[in-house]
């Protein structure tokens, strides 16, 4: 099987004819894989992922014929979660709080992406538009939250989206240690302290 056939354009979509139990199994596998890749990297045993999801390895391979297929589905799911979080937080939280909480979720996204880095490079070679589309979705979600906070005079207006995106992206360069996520969240706190309008 070629990588192209293993990572179709609709890899993030649930196959339409799955029974309810099969759909639950697929969703659970994706959830467990995302956490495993974030914690232990992309070389995490697929048998371990299947076991944690409560299914056999055959079930995993029926849904995801290759490791790269599973990685792409997880990556697209993380992007969708970020977009959904922006919509949810903008409805339920004050604009500055929504921005901060989304930025902390972005750290979780970076942790998962970092764990999948080697496989994502392989996938990118056969799907060059995937990352451009993903980055566009992230920027759109981020801009929505930042603009709302600025329009309500909760966040400084002299900071542009590109400046803040550069600051956020630099978190990815923090050395990969067990303390990486804690350090990243401390930096988010520092960023928000500098962004909030002093009253």
The string of DSSP letters for 49-102 reads HHHHHTS-HHHHHHH-SSHHHHHHHHHHHHHHHHHHHHHHHHHHS-HHHHHHHH
Q: How many other CB atoms sit within 10 Å of the CB of residue 186?
A: 11
Q: What is the percent of the chain with per-residue pLDDT over 70, rounded to a whole number?
A: 90
pLDDT of residue 14: 53
What is the residue-averaged pLDDT of the chain? 86
Characterise 168 by phi-psi region: left (phi > 0), alpha (psi -120 to 50), beta (else).
Answer: alpha
Which burial class, exposed, middle or buried, applies to 159 when counting CB atoms under 10 A from its CB (0-12, 13-18, 19+)? middle
Q: What average pLDDT does this structure show over 15-22?
A: 75
Average pLDDT score over residue span 42-60: 95
Residue 1 confidence (pLDDT) above 90: no
> What is the per-residue pLDDT for 168?
86
Tell me the per-residue pLDDT of 154-191, one tens digit each, with 9 for 90 and over: 999 998 888 888 888 888 888 878 788 899 999 999 99
Alpha-carbon 164 to chain mean position: 18
What's the pLDDT at 132?
80
Distance CA 69, CA 4 (A): 9
d(CA 52, CA 1): 27
Q: Which two tokens stand for residue 136?
A: 């566009």
- Cβ–Cβ under 8 Å, residues 63 and 29: yes
Q: What is the pLDDT of residues 117-161, one digit of tens each?
A: 888 887 777 776 877 888 888 889 999 999 999 999 999 999 888
Would residue 178 be called left, alpha or beta, if left means φ above 0 and alpha means ψ between -120 and 50 degrees? alpha
CB-count burial class (<10 Å; 0-12, 13-18, 19+) for 182: exposed
Instruction: Give me the pLDDT at residue 18, please.
Output: 72
Q: Is the pLDDT of residue 10 over 80?
A: no
Cβ atoms 21, 83 nearer than 8 A: no
Residues 176 and 114 sit within 8 Å (Cβ to Cβ): yes
Q: Which residue is listed with tokens 């981020």?
A: 142
């Amino acid at each position: 099987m070629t990588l192209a056939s293993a990572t179709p354009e609709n890899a993030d979509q649930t196959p339409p004819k799955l029974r309810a139990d099969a759909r639950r199994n697929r969703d659970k596998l994706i959830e467990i894989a995302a956490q495993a890749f974030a914690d232990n990297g992309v070389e995490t045993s697929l048998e371990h992922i299947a076991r944690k999801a409560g299914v056999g390895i055959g079930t995993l391979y029926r849904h995801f014929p290759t490791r790269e297929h599973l990685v792409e589905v997880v990556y697209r799911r993380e992007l969708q979660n970020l977009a959904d979080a922006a919509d949810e937080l903008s409805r339920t939280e004050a604009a500055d709080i929504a921005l901060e909480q989304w930025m902390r979720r972005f750290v979780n996204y970076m942790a998962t992406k970092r764990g999948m880095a080697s496989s994502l490079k392989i996938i990118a070679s056969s799907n060059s538009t995937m990352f451009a589309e993903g980055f566009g979705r992230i920027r759109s979600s981020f801009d929505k939250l930042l603009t709302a906070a600025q329009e309500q005079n909760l966040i400084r207006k002299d900071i542009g989206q590109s400046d803040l995106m550069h600051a956020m992206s630099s978190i990815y360069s923090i050395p990969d240690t067990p303390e990486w996520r804690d350090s990243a969240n401390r930096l988010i706190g520092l960023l928000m302290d500098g962004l909030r309008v002093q009253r």
